[in-house]
A and B are shown apart, each in its own frame.
Chain A
Amino acid sequence: MSRIYKALAPVALSLAIAACGGHDASQSAAPASPKAAPGAVKVDAATAGTISGRVVVEGTLPENPVIKTSSDPACGSDELRSETYVVDHGGLKNVFVYIKDGLGNKYVFETPTEPVKIDQKGCHYTPHVVGVRTTQPLEIINSDNTLHNVHGMPKANPEFNKGQMIAGVKNDFTFNAPEVLIPLKCDVHAWMNAYVGVVDHPYFAVTGDGGKFELRGVPPGSYSVEAVHEKLGRVSLPVTLGNKDSKELTFSFKAQ
């Protein structure tokens, strides 16, 4: 029998390590300042401009699949629709738009301490796509009278999986590295998914009605702006902004 114990010892050790260190890694991250050069300055509001525009789709998008929620009566509605493709007046909603390149490390930005919130209600994430700053809390709330698990699947940040047993439970998550987009899912209700765009500056938006977006207070300069959709991928456009300038961009995704 002692041989058995010896054989199992390494496994037990790795289990203990996993139990201690394999959980909630994203929540233990200490706030870290985004990269900034020693001489970095705040953006001068007097010269800042705006980048706005919309996201459109060429071609016909597939219909969002119907989701049957009968596996959990507490979810309420018998049927939901996935929110992968939401078109409004020809524009595509739920697209994350942000300045990908061009800001360099010339500027310093204060990180908000107010959390960005995602609610779970009716076994459905609201909103479907959010943006959050590095080290800013992302608060995920369970408003359902059932269990959810919040399973984040980042690549540049630590993966996490947190159970929320009852209604009213809230958990904060933070991300130290910029990453666009991080999928969130609930493994209890396989249809539940949401996406989080993490950036280290304030110039991001999620397209709303008509597929429109607006990035305000952008300092003059040349940038690469990227639009990211959960299924349709990424489209980047260059833009150059002068003093107090306003530019409009139209991102076009091709229906797959």
Chain B
Amino acid sequence: MHDRASHLAPRISRWHHRYATLVAACTILLIAAGGMVTSTGSGLSVPDWPTTYGWNMFTFPVSKWVGGIRYEHSHRLIASTVGFLTIILAVWTWRVEPRAWVRKLGFAALGAVVLQGLLGGITVLLFLPPAVSIGHAGLAQIFFCLTITMALVTSPVWKNAVQPVDDPMLRRVAALTTALVYTQIIVGATMRHNAAGLAIPDFPLAFGHVIPPVWNAKVAVNFAHRVGALLVTLSILATSSHVLYHHPQRRELVRPALLLLALVFAQITLGAFVVWSGKNPLINTAHVVNGAAVLATSLVLTLRSFRARFERSVQPIVQAQPRPSSPASSPLPPHGVRP
């Protein structure tokens, strides 16, 4: 029996990682669907929640998916699917994952997606108040980060890492970059949900000047997003340069560092086209999705820079086992973050 369990464990672990990756991929699709809802102004095209024009969400006829409803309703269905996938992820993780903090991460993701669904419903029922809608946008990114983290830390590369990089400077600069990217996304959501996306109608200048000559709340948040883009770009340049200069042989760091550079370049280009196109919904949504990709990539780089702080290796288990009473008596390696 033990032999069979040992034989099955790596396969189950591999599928568990693949499934976590699938949930993260579905989440980026969900963010894209949400981006289309706000970009097309369809957030209130379905006035009720959790029903859809009085119908059960899952039985609402496809023939009625017209105009803005197709964006809002498909967003709700994708969200429900992601919620369901997250339930499975949390339960599966609880059963097969030996690290307690990863098991908790699974349920944190589940809690986040439930809260996210409630925020989505509340913002519809309250006619999209900016504070709730911004909270919905911010929590979406946190949930996405949780799924990315689940996918990363369940990967064989993470679990079997040998001699991970232990560079305090990299840890600091990478973590700062991730924090800056998240803050920038929140500023962007604030701009988006206060209809301030074109408050400054030109780019790269602002009303033909470097500093806007006129100021109000919308101009201020729009300009803050532009300044934020500059800070994020500088921070990404610093992080990537550090990786390329100090750790050029570490593929697990070089690859996200290069990807970050490409993504931030794409993000600035998309941001410019958002303004030049007068907020074309597809470009707007691509900007939102690419922003999430920047955050995810920065997070991966940050987590890998912290890899040495985590336990060295993990042996997967096949099914839930009683918690060991003390680490000394456990057949498993120590769980959680090393003190």
Contact = CB atoms under 8 A, between A and B. Distances in A.
Interface of A: 4, 7-8, 11-12, 14-15, 18-19, 22-23, 71-74, 146-147, 149, 151, 153, 159, 161-163, 165, 186-190
Nearest to B114: A8
Contact of A147 (B42, B44, B69, B127): B69
B47 A11 contact: no
B45 A22 contact: no
Interface in B62-81: 64, 66-70, 72
A12 B118 contact: yes
Nearest to A1: B107
Given A4-B111, A71-B66, A147-B66, A190 B42 contact: yes
B67 A71 contact: yes
B43 interface: yes
Contacts of B70: 71
A234 B329 CA distance: 80
Contact of A15 (B40, B45, B118): B118
Contact of B45 (A23, A149, A159): A149
9 contacts: A7-B111, A11-B118, A12-B118, A15-B125, A22-B126, A149-B45, A151-B47, A188-B45, A189-B67
B164 interface: no
Contact of A74 (B53, B66, B72, B127): B66
A187 B122 contact: no
B334 interface: no
A58 to B, nearest CB: 24
Contact of A189 (B44, B46, B68): B68
A187 B44 contact: yes
A7 B107 CA distance: 13
A147 B111 contact: no
A14 B122 contact: yes
Given A4-B111, A8-B115, A165-B53, A149 B66 contact: no
Nearest to B40: A190
Nearest to B111: A4
A65 to B, nearest CB: 12
A190 B41 contact: yes
A167 B120 CA distance: 29
Given A8-B115, A163-B54, A187 B42 contact: yes
A215 to B, nearest CB: 34
Given A8-B111, A8-B114, A153-B127, 11 more contacts: A8-B118, A11-B118, A18-B122, A23-B48, A72-B67, A149-B45, A163-B54, A187-B41, A187-B45, A190-B67, A190-B68
B121 interface: yes
B183 to A, nearest CB: 24
Contacts of B42: 187-188, 190
A151 B124 CA distance: 12
Interface residues of B, number: 29
A22 B69 CA distance: 21
Contact of A72 (B41, B66, B107, B122): B66
Contacts of B69: 147, 188
A187 B118 contact: no
Q: Which of B48, B66, B122 has the most CB of A within 10 A?
A: B66
Contacts of B111: 4, 7-8
A163 B46 contact: yes
Nearest to A18: B125
A188 B126 contact: no
Contacts of A151: 44, 47, 127
Contacts of B47: 23, 149, 151, 161-163
A15 B117 CA distance: 11
A145 to B, nearest CB: 11
Contact of B121 (A8, A15, A72): A15
A165 B66 CA distance: 12
The listed residue with most A CB atoms (<10 A of its CB), out of B44, B54, B67, B118, is B67
Contact of B53 (A11, A18, A73, A163): A163
Contacts of A15: 118, 121-122, 125
Given A7-B111, A151-B44, A163-B47, A188 B127 contact: no
Contact of B125 (A11, A19, A73, A153): A19
A4 B112 CA distance: 10
Interface in B54-109: 54, 64, 66-70, 72, 107
What are the nearest 4 A-B pairs in CB distance? A187-B45, A72-B66, A188-B67, A161-B47
B201 to A, nearest CB: 14
Contact of B43 (A22, A186, A187): A187
Contacts of B46: 149, 163
B43 to A, nearest CB: 7
Q: Give the interface centre of A8, A188, A190 by most chain B CB atoms within 10 Å.
A: A188
A67 B126 CA distance: 29
A161 B127 contact: yes
Contact of B66 (A4, A22, A23, A188): A188
A8 B119 CA distance: 11
Contacts of A74: 66
B122 to A, nearest CB: 5
Nearest to B41: A190
A136 B115 CA distance: 41
Interface in B115-140: 115, 118-119, 121-122, 125-127
